Structure 1
Amino acid sequence: MELYGDVLFIFTTLTIWITVQGAVSYTKCTKVNSCSCLTDNGLEVDLSPLTDTSGKAKFADVTATTGDGFSWNPCVDFTEKAETNCVNVAACQIQKGGDKTRYFALGDQNSAVFQINDKKNLEVTYTSKPDPTLPRIAIVELVCDESQEGTLTATGESGPASGKYLMSLTSKYACAKKPEPGSSSTTLTVGSIVLIVFLVLVIVYVIVGVSVNKFARHATGKEVVPNYTFWTALPGLIKDGVLFIFSICRRKGSEYSKI
């Protein structure tokens, strides 16, 4: 009985761990539109509640550690200032020097790309190419925090002449969640498609198997179930396999006997 308890505990622990991992972690987030993406475990990151639709930036003139200012608006392009490079953009760099202020576009909404960075966090990037040899890229890291509505911090350029400008959004909208019914992100994932195909194959297997056994082989009762002997023996085989594996693991220093 002790062995059965150990097996049950380990199985339950693994099940909980797999469930939690599937709910909170992902390795890819496929772009749905410029402010939302669908993770590979069927969850959604949607920044649309943070959008400013007035033509201005939701996060405006955020000062970076380098001294430059940065503006960013998810989902909808904005204009920082007329007659500058920052017209109809997703992000803008405001470079202040002396009496002169310069504005640099950091990409529009169409250039938005979602990807996982080296810290395993999701980020959205925007690319502007006023000069083909010197693209300017805005990188907004998305940090999940259910207690925050939305706070943007800016680091500035990641390195001399790198053309990459770093920002970080801390928000509850940066968290991956189950898509709302009717959302544009409620599409089928690869896992869902595989599951549907599997279920269809199971149904076809049962229907065809029962039909063949009943009408071609004239079987009756439980014998109409396809491969009845195999399926009734399977639980016992699985149990024996599990018990065998755990009995070996519990024997410290055990060795297989030589043939």
Structure 2
Amino acid sequence: MLKSGWLLTCVVLGTSIWMTFGKTCVKVPGHVCTCKLENGTLISLDAISGSKSPVFADVEEVNHTSADGRQYLYYYDPCRSFALPQANGVCTGVSVCQKDVASNAYYNLGELGDTKFGWDETRDLFYISYRGCDGQDCRRTNVSLRCDWSRGDPMLEVFRQNGGTPLEYNMTLTSRCACPAGCAEERHPTRLSGGAVFLIVLVAGAGFYLLVGVAYRRIVVGATGWEALPNRRFWASLPGLVRDGVTFCITCRRADTTYDQI
């Protein structure tokens, strides 16, 4: 019985640890809509973002009409800001926007500057949230990420807003890009650092210098062997010059100076 009790405790503890770490996705620095799972794989929505106009436009709510009898349309781009000229500046530099069809009024539902990732316990889905404010009026949009490997074209479902302060809006984005490593490799190539670019340019420049110099001295001057190297004497003396410079810098302040008595 004692062994069984310890075994059950270990199973429960292991399950708790898995539940805690297996449902954590940390936002990748420098990427507003990419997060990293505990095993190192990425969930990235970059591949389904538009250029200037939002990917999803004029999207109706699932039931088309909200609880107060009004109809709304939604505009959404997961990873890029957009502007709706017809919104009179309300939806400029936003990622989520809402339009009241009856009054033709627009509302900022979220911007890229405050995106967060989390886990929705009730739906067993990761979500990304956006927050937008128009003066003192703030709203938050939570977009649940439903993984579907068979869906190349993403689908957005918009649900009714939740009351409270701030107002919250719930959406579901279904796509293979919502799957771990579903689209991450497509839009996250390894980028060279500034130092790597400098080294590449330096090596390429040195190779070009040697190639052109050797060709010139062999063809025009008629030099052979080591004499074909451009500026051979300078390069041969360079190590000695460097050594003398280092020696001078080290000993110049320590040199003993003596003067003759007058």
For the aligned pair, the TM-score class normalised by the smaller chain equals: 0.5 to 0.7
Query: Aligned residue for 2:59?
Result: 62
Q: 1:115-134: per-residue Cα shift (whole Å, max 9, x none)?
A: 111223111111012243x4
Which of 116, 119, 132 matches 1:116? Answer: 119
Describe the superposition over 1:47-75 as per-residue Cα deviations: whole angstroms up to 9, x where unpaired: 1110101x111011100132311110011
Amino acid at match of 1:165: Y
RMSD, aligned CA: 2.8
User: 1:14-72 deviations in whole A, cap 9, x for unaligned?
Assistant: 9xxx9xx89xx82111111112111122111011110101x111011100132311110
The answer to whether 1:71 aligns with 2:87 is no
* Letter in structure 1 aligned against 2:172: S
- 8 Å Cα contact 1:84/1:103 also seen in 2: no
CA distance in 1, matches of 2:146, 2:84: 25
Q: Is the 8 A contact 2:138 2:166 kept in 1?
A: no
Letter in 2 for 1:169: L
Question: Are 1:77 and 1:90, in contact at CA under 8 Å, matched by a contact in 2?
Answer: yes
Q: Call closer, same or farther: CA 1:152–1:126 in 2, change over 3 Å.
A: same
Q: Equivalent residue of 1:61, what SS?
A: strand
Residue 194 of structure 2 corresponds to none
Instruction: State the match for 1:43 in structure 2.
Output: 41
Relative to structure 1, the CA distance from residue 181 to residue 156 in structure 2 (aligned partners, 3 Å threshold; closer, same or farther) is closer
Cα separation, 2, equivalents of 1:185 and 1:114 = 23
Match of 2:133 among 129, 132, 157: 129
Counterpart of 1:152 in structure 2: which amino acid? L
Equivalent-residue separation in structure 1 for 2:151 and 2:186 (angstroms)? 24
1:185–1:171 distance in 2 versus 1, CA, 3 Å: farther
The residue that corresponds to 2:23 in the other structure is 27
CA contact (8 A) 1:143 1:168 kept: yes
CA distance in 2, matches of 1:69, 1:181: 31
If you compute each CA radius of gyration, which structure gives the higher value, 1 or 2?
Answer: 2
Distance in 1 of aligned mates of 2:172 and 2:106:
20
Q: Deviations over 1:130-163 (max 9, x none)?
A: 243x420111111000111200010130236651
Distance 2:89 2:157 in 1: 24
C-alpha contact 2:41 2:181 (8 A) present in aligned 1:
yes
User: Among residues 141, 146, 153, which one is paired with 1:143 in the alignment?
Assistant: 146
Give the paired residue count: 162
- In structure 2, distance between residues paired with 1:181 and 1:62: 27
Question: What corresponds to 2:215 in structure 1?
Answer: none
Aligned AA (2:72): D
Contact 2:140 2:166 in 1 (8 A): no
- Counterpart of 2:217 in structure 1 is none
The 3-state SS of whatever aligns with 1:111 is: strand
CA distance change for structure 1 residues 44 and 94 in 2, over 3 Å: closer, same or farther?
Answer: same
When structure 1 is superposed on structure 2, of 177-186 and 30-39 the one drifting more is: 177-186
TM-score by length of 1: 0.56
Q: Which residue pairs with 2:3 in the alignment? A: none
Q: What percentage of residue pairs aligned between the two structures are identical?
A: 25
Q: Secondary structure at the match of 1:93?
A: strand
TM score, norm. by length of structure 2:
0.56
Partner of 1:91: 96
Q: Say whether the 8 Å CA contact 2:33–2:44 is kept in structure 1.
A: yes
**Is contact 2:90-2:134 (8 Å) kept?**
no
Label 1:182 to 1:89 Cα distance change in 2 as closer, same or farther (>3 A). closer
CA distance in 2, matches of 1:185, 1:177: 15
Which residue pairs with 1:232 in the alignment?
Answer: none
Aligned to 2:218: none
1:159-188 alpha-carbon deviations (Å, 9 max, x no partner): 3665101111000000012853993799xx
For 1:160 and 1:131, the matched residues in 2 are separated by: 17
One-letter amino acid of the counterpart of residue 24, structure 2: K
